[in-house]
């Protein structure tokens, strides 16, 4: 594959698309599929066929448009129409409308803030690509960045661009991606690995699933550029087994890329070779931690080990290993295509680019959003999401089980790594759950503690025993059986677990408790002193006759 | 790469699928998790025979195989029911009523989460997060995701299985 060949393939694919007067794109993400989008696809296909207009109108699969709750979503191009809640019975009316006025009752207004306030870089293809077709990706310029880099840039120049961009890891901790790549590239070894961490285990987060399902090739191209930059010749995509559709599409994408000579030996006629394999998780949250993930790839129990040495120096089978999260790799192609300088103009002083969030909970518009760093939480919650009528905002939870709950008084902070940490939360991988007045914050803290307790791998005592003890204390509080001494013990334990656990799972596990104690202490006290749950969630057994 | 292969545990053709998975990975010890996935997919669960077969074929101690099989939540050493209902208890589902769905199902089936009915018809499983938070609360009935579901609807779906 060289530039000319790729250009030829891309042009052919583009021409094939524009040969149709209308292209109907049916979302095939997990959300829409569970709302029968496949049946909708088939009924539209049948309708086109029976009318004999298949030669000028086509129906294809597309990726996620973000607003999963309004699915199944169907777009019509080049008319820029988006229909929501499409049923199989709507197919005739939809096909009728192709050369006439749009179907008004199904039209989704794309000028609402949910769409207009977003800025798409990672999700730049916006569901317009057929996830199962490499040609569809090539038609939009896919793989041209890789081909150009291989022909024009040295690995050091690639890393220089990345460092200039200011991109930071999107897995949560926010380590500089350029620095990490540089460390792996400089490690002395004759063999290096590149690993994509697709073990998205945070409850309430599904950004990475969407990227893997919708644009598998964008991810693979990003990994290829990484492998070229750090000098790796083999890599793994570690995907949680709970995402069967993502696994299926990634497998297919790897086969397609191999067939086109974009994976394998002597890629694009250069001496660069890269072999990519998929490894399945098996339901262990801790495997998102990088040393546990390496253990799992090596076929062992996913238990973390102390760092240093970091995987960048000592990773899979002891070789230097670059581990980045899905969203980080998905950023690579746009960054290298447009240049580091361009990327560094987006976002805030220290957090560049955009962040994809899974906005869920008590909001009118739930789904996937990509926003520039520096946007305020208030804009996300009230404008993009919008509170449902009659609901009152209480807190927004970010960062999953290692994150915290942010109350209304801090809604005006900009979304970036440092600001979120300052108010006691955490960027995390991108789950953002809006909590309204009907939820009990002690119950929420207990929910996350139960999660950490069950998911603790058991290797280090502070996490194994500490999370269990904290859970029991929280349970006592929600049952109305705790004393103020128990509360003091809970705070004490939170401190111990945070500072003495081996890995991020344990270290982060007290965060939901600490942050709810910081902002919603009165709710804890109501359970302990007044024996009532202000939100009416917890069942407190009142002692009779006291 | 190991070339010597262990004999299949029985005539059952499904063992060949498991064998093929191991062969694809050159019988390397790091193929253990892939092998267990393959065995569980073929047989529905992992029994002693499957664990021993994996250990012998990949040349690793049975203790390590057992350790891995019990470490990961997705592997099960007990046979599952004919039908499986997964209730999501991720954060979004938890807040939007997942626990109520679970208790309704527990009441209707008479079993607790993680258990299978005595007639081996229905298994009730709890998921950490299905990643379909936009459709919270969600359940999976034999692989079909159902979103924005009410406890009564979930119970109705289970009852459908009983009658068929």
pLDDT digits (tens, 9 = 90+) for A421-452: 999 998 888 999 999 999 999 999 999 999 99
In the predicted model, what is the mean pLDDT of residues B85-102? 92
Q: What percent of chain A has pLDDT over 70?
A: 99
Nearest CA in chain A to B76: A282
Quickly list DSSP for B117-160: -TTS-EEEEEES--S-GGG-S-EEETTEEE-S--HHHHHHHHHH
3-state secondary structure of A251: helix
CA distance B128 to chain A (A): 6
CB contact under 8 A, A358 and B72: no
Q: Locate B65 and state its tokens.
A: 């195989």
Task: Establish how many alpha carbons lie within 13 A of residue A517's alpha carbon, considering only the half-sphere containing its beta carbon.
Answer: 17
Interface test with B, best of A31, A203, A284, A539 (most B CBs within 10 A): A203
CB contact under 8 A, A242 and B131: yes
Rg (CA), chain B: 18
Of B29, B68, B96, the CB nearest to A301: B68
Residue B59 is assigned to a structural domain of this protein: yes
CA distance A301 to chain B (A): 5
Chain B residue numbers with beta carbons less than 8 Å from the beta carbon of A279 are 33-34
Same domain, B92 and B157: yes
Helix axes A461-478, A521-528, angle to 10 degrees: 60
CA distance A433 to chain B (A): 7
Of B64, B75, B134, the CB nearest to A31: B134
CB contact under 8 A, B128 and A201: yes
- The whole-angstrom separation of Cα B131 and Cα A27 is 16
Range A490-504 burial, b when 16+ CB lie within 10 A, else e: beebbeebbeebbbb
Same domain, B36 and B103: no
Edge to edge, what strands does the sheet with B122-127 contain?
A: B122-127, B83-88, B139-141, B144-146
Chain A residue numbers with beta carbons less than 8 Å from the beta carbon of B89 are 203
CB contact under 8 A, B30 and A33: no
B153 and B159 Cβ atoms separated by less than 8 Å? no
- B64, B26, B130, B77: which is closest to A303 by C-alpha? B64
CB contact under 8 A, A283 and B68: no
Quickly list DSSP for A456-480: --SSSHHHHHHHHHHHHHHHHHHTT
A126 has pLDDT over 80: yes
In the predicted model, what is the mean pLDDT of residues B125-142? 87
Chain A residue numbers with beta carbons less than 8 Å from the beta carbon of B92 are 203-204, 360-361, 366, 433
CA distance B145 to chain A (A): 5
Report the run of H or E that residue A431 belongs to, with start and end.
strand A431-436
A353 and A371 Cβ atoms separated by less than 8 Å? no
CA distance B46 to chain A (A): 14
CB contact under 8 A, A30 and B145: yes
Q: Locate the domains of chain A by residue range.
A: 15-109, 141-344, 354-436, 441-528
Of A31, A279, A360, the CB nearest to B92: A360
Structurally, chain B folds into a number of domains equal to 2
Same domain, B97 and B139: yes
Same domain, B88 and B128: yes
Burial of A105 (C-beta count, 10 Å sphere; 0-12/13-18/19+): exposed
pLDDT of amino acid A545: 42
Chain B residue numbers with beta carbons less than 8 Å from the beta carbon of A205 are 129, 131, 133
Sign of CA dihedral A250, A255, A261, A263: positive
A185 and A231 Cβ atoms separated by less than 8 Å? yes
Of B67, B133, B147, the CB nearest to A206: B133
Report the run of H or E that residue A276 belongs to, with start and end.
strand A275-280
Residue B2 is assigned to a structural domain of this protein: no
CATH code assigned at B149: 3.40.30.10
pLDDT of amino acid A171: 86
Same domain, B113 and B151: yes
pTM, 2 dp? 0.95
Residue B4 is assigned to a structural domain of this protein: no
Per-residue model confidence as pLDDT tens digits over A402-422: 999 999 999 999 999 999 999
Helices (H), chain B: 14-24, 32-43, 48-58, 62-71, 91-95, 98-109, 151-163
Q: Any idea which architecture A441-528 has in CATH? A: Up-down Bundle (1.20)
Chain A residue numbers with beta carbons less than 8 Å from the beta carbon of B127 are 242
Residue B77 is assigned to a structural domain of this protein: no
Interface test with B, best of A285, A300, A396, A456 (most B CBs within 10 A): A300
CB contact under 8 A, B30 and A298: yes
Same domain, B88 and B48: no
Same domain, B30 and B51: yes
A532 has pLDDT over 70: yes
Q: How confident is the model at residue A546 (pLDDT cuts 50, 70, 90)?
A: very low
Residue B3 is assigned to a structural domain of this protein: no
Residue B34 is assigned to a structural domain of this protein: yes
Of A200, A280, A362, the CB nearest to B34: A280
Report the run of H or E that residue A494 belongs to, with start and end.
helix A484-500
pLDDT of amino acid B2: 54
CA distance A432 to chain B (A): 9
Same domain, B96 and B156: yes
A324 and A332 Cβ atoms separated by less than 8 Å? no
Query: Chain-wide mean pLDDT for chain A?
Result: 94
Chain B residue numbers with beta carbons less than 8 Å from the beta carbon of A397 are 91
State the complex-level ipTM.
0.91
pLDDT of amino acid B3: 52
- The whole-angstrom separation of Cα A208 and Cα A203 is 12
**Cβ atoms within 10 Å, residue A374:** 17
Same domain, B42 and B108: no
Of B74, B128, B138, the CB nearest to A241: B74
- B79, B7, B3: which is closest to B43 by C-alpha? B79
Of B33, B96, B131, the CB nearest to A296: B33
> How do beta strands B139-141 and B144-146 pair?
antiparallel
Of A31, A204, A243, the CB nearest to B92: A204
CB contact under 8 A, A397 and B91: yes
Interface test with B, best of A236, A284, A319, A360 (most B CBs within 10 A): A360
Top-level class of domain A354-436: alpha beta
Per-residue model confidence as pLDDT tens digits over A225-251: 999 999 999 999 999 988 989 999 999
Of B71, B128, B134, the CB nearest to A301: B71
A75-81 long-range contacts, CB within 8 A, separation 24+ = A75/A24, A75/A25, A75/A27, A75/A127, A75/A128, A76/A22, A76/A23, A76/A24, A76/A25, A76/A102, A77/A22, A77/A23, A77/A25, A77/A128, A78/A22, A78/A23, A79/A22, A80/A110, A81/A107
A540 has pLDDT over 90: no
Chain A residue numbers with beta carbons less than 8 Å from the beta carbon of B30 are 297-299
**Cβ atoms within 10 Å, residue A256:** 19
- The whole-angstrom separation of Cα A140 and Cα A210 is 19
Q: Residue B138 sits in which domain range?
A: 83-163
Identify the CATH number of the domain defined by range A141-344: 3.40.50.11540
Same domain, B95 and B57: no
Chain A residue numbers with beta carbons less than 8 Å from the beta carbon of B134 are 31, 67-69, 71, 206, 358, 360, 366-368
A124 has pLDDT over 80: yes
Q: Locate A104 and state its tokens.
A: 């008004």
Q: What percent of chain B has pLDDT over 70?
A: 96
Q: CATH fold of A15-109, please?
A: Glutaredoxin (3.40.30)
Q: How confident is the model at residue A342 (pLDDT cuts 50, 70, 90)?
A: very high
Chain B residue numbers with beta carbons less than 8 Å from the beta carbon of A444 are 95
Same domain, B147 and B99: yes
Rg (CA), chain A: 25
Of B30, B94, B132, the CB nearest to A34: B132
**Cβ atoms within 10 Å, residue A233:** 15
Domain end: B71, B97, B119, which one? B71
Nearest CA in chain A to B33: A299
pLDDT of amino acid A319: 98
Read off the DSSP letter of residue A71: P
Report the run of H or E that residue A23 belongs to, with start and end.
strand A22-27
B40 and B76 Cβ atoms separated by less than 8 Å? yes
Helices (H), A86-215: 91-96, 113-116, 134-139, 144-152, 155-165, 177-186, 207-214
Domain end: B31, B49, B71, which one? B71
CB contact under 8 A, B135 and A68: yes
- Backbone φ and ψ for A117, nearest 5 degrees, come out as -85, -5
CB contact under 8 A, B71 and A281: no
B2-8 long-range contacts, CB within 8 A, separation 24+ = B2/B26, B2/B27, B2/B28, B2/B59, B5/B57, B6/B53, B6/B56, B6/B57, B8/B53
CA distance A283 to chain B (A): 5
β-strand partners of A357:
A369
Same domain, B101 and B156: yes
User: Which of A93-97, A150-154, A322-326, B141-145 comes out lowest in average pLDDT?
Assistant: B141-145
Q: How confident is the model at residue A470 (pLDDT cuts 50, 70, 90)?
A: very high
CB contact under 8 A, B129 and A205: yes
């Amino acid at each position: 594959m060289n530039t000319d060949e790729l250009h030829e393939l891309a042009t052919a694919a583009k021409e094939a698309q524009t040969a149709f007067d209308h292209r109907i794109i049916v979302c095939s993400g997990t959300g829409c599929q569970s709302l029968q989008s496949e049946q909708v696809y088939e009924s539209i296909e049948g309708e086109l066929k029976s009318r004999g207009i298949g030669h000028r109108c086509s129906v294809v699969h597309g990726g996620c448009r973000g607003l999963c709750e309004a699915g199944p979503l169907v777009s019509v191009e080049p008319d820029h129409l988006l229909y929501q809640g499409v049923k199989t019975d709507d197919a005739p009316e939809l096909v009728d409308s192709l050369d006439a006025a749009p179907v008004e009752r199904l039209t989704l207004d794309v000028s609402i803030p949910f769409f207009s306030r977003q800025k798409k870089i990672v999700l730049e293809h916006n569901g317009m690509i057929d996830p199962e077709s490499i040609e569809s990706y090539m038609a939009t310029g896919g793989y041209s960045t890789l081909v150009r880099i291989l022909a024009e840039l040295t690995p050091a120049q690639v890393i220089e661009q990345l460092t200039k961009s200011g991109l930071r890891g999107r897995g949560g901790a926010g380590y500089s991606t350029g620095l990490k790549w540089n460390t792996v590239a400089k490690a002395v070894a004759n063999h290096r690995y590149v690993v994509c961490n697709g073990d998205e285990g945070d409850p309430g987060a599904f950004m990475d699933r969407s990227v893997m399902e919708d644009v598998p090739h964008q991810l693979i191209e990003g990994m290829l550029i990484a492998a070229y930059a750090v000098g790796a010749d083999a890599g793994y995509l570690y995907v949680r087994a709970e995402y069967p559709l993502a696994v299926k599409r990634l497998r297919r994408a790897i086969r397609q890329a191999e067939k086109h000579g974009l994976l394998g030996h002597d890629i694009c006629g250069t001496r660069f070779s890269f072999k990519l394999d998929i490894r399945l998780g098996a339901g262990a949250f801790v495997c998102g931690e990088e040393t546990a993930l390496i253990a799992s790839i090596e076929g062992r129990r996913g238990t973390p080990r102390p760092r240093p040495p970091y995987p960048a120096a000592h990773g899979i089978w002891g070789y230097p290993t670059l581990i980045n999260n899905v969203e980080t790799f998905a950023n690579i192609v746009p960054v290298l295509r447009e240049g580091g300088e361009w990327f560094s103009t987006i976002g805030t002083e220290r957090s560049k680019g955009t962040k994809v969030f899974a906005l869920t909970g008590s909001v009118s518009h739930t789904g996937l959003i990509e926003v520039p760093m520096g946007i305020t939480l208030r804009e996300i919650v009230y404008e993009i999401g919008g509170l449902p009528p009659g609901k009152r905002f209480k807190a927004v939870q970010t960062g999953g089980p290692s994150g915290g709950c942010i109350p209304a008084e801090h809604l005006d902070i900009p979304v970036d790594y440092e600001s979120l940490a300052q108010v006691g939360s955490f960027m995390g991988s991108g789950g953002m759950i809006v909590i309204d007045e009907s939820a009990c914050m002690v119950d929420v803290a207990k929910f996350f503690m139960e999660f950490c307790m069950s998911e603790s791998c058991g290797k280090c005592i502070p996490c194994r025993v500490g999370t269990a003890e904290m859970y029991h204390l929280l349970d006592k509080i929600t049952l109305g059986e705790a004393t103020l001494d128990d509360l003091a013990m809970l705070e004490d334990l939170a401190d111990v677990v945070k500072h003495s656990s081996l890995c991020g799972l344990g270290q982060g596990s007290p965060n939901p408790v600490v942050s709810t104690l910081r902002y919603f202490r009165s709710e804890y006290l109501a359970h302990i002193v007044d024996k009532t749950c202000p939100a009416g969630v917890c069942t407190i057994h009142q002692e009779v006759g006291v | 790469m190991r070339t010597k292969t262990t004999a299949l545990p029985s005539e059952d053709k499904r063992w060949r699928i498991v064998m093929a998975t191991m062969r694809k990975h050159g019988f390397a010890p790091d193929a253990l998790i892939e092998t267990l996935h393959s065995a569980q997919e073929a047989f529905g669960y992992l029994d002693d025979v499957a664990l021993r077969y994996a250990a012998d074929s990949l040349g690793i101690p049975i203790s390590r195989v057992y350790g891995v099989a019990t470490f990961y939540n997705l592997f099960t050493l007990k046979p599952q029911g004919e039908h499986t209902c997964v209730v999501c208890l991720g954060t979004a589902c938890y807040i939007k009523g997942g626990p109520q769905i679970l208790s309704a199902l527990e009441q209707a089936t008479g079993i607790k989460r993680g258990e299978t009915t005595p007639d081996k018809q229905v298994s009730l499983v709890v998921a950490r997060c299905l990643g379909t938070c936009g459709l919270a609360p969600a359940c999976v009935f034999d692989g079909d995701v159902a979103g924005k579901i009410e406890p009564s609807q979930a119970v109705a779906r289970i009852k459908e299985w009983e009658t068929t």
